[in-house]
């Protein structure tokens, strides 16, 4: 396992930093991103290396053209609920489901 440093210099710069790291790894790479890190791994250059998958752990998973700010505005209050996961919060129930590929 390799943990990439996130310099937080902006999305493009941060994704370029992770892309550079991915290009140094021999073999398949699975990137995991939490919160803002989800947006970073979404922007990693697909040709940087052997990307086997992306894992979003309570992370932003923007579609092309979306930003973390636009997603946060779409789902206000979408932080982890304090209730049981069996009873989703109102905002969590509105999150559109993406088809699995």
CA 95 → CA 25, 43, 49, 57, 68, distances in Å?
34, 22, 31, 15, 15
Q: What mean pLDDT comes out for the span 71-92?
A: 53
Segment 7-66, tens digit of pLDDT: 888 889 999 999 999 999 999 999 999 888 988 999 999 999 999 999 988 877 888 888
Compare 77 and 84 and report the one with higher pLDDT. 77
DSSP one-letter code for 51: E
Dihedral pair phi/psi, residue 63, rounded to 5°: -80, 165
Q: Map out the domains of the chain as residue ranges.
A: 11-93
Sign of CA dihedral 79, 85, 87, 93: positive
* CA nearest to 75, candidates 59, 94, 50, 49: 94
- Assess contact for 21 and 45: CB atoms under 8 A: no
Which is nearest to 54 in space by CA: 75, 45, 70, 93? Answer: 45
Largest CA distance in the chain: 44
pTM above 0.85, yes or no: no
């Amino acid at each position: 396992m390799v943990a990439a440093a996130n310099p937080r210099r902006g999305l493009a710069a941060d994704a370029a930093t992770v892309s550079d790291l991915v290009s140094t790894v021999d073999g398949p790479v699975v990137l995991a991103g939490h919160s803002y890190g989800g947006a970073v791994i979404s922007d990693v250059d697909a040709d940087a290396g052997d990307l086997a998958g992306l894992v979003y752990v309570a992370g932003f998973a923007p579609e092309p053209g979306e930003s973390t700010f636009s997603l946060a505005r779409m789902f206000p209050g979408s932080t982890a609920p304090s209730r049981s996961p069996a009873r989703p919060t109102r905002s969590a129930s509105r999150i559109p489901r993406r088809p699995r590929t």
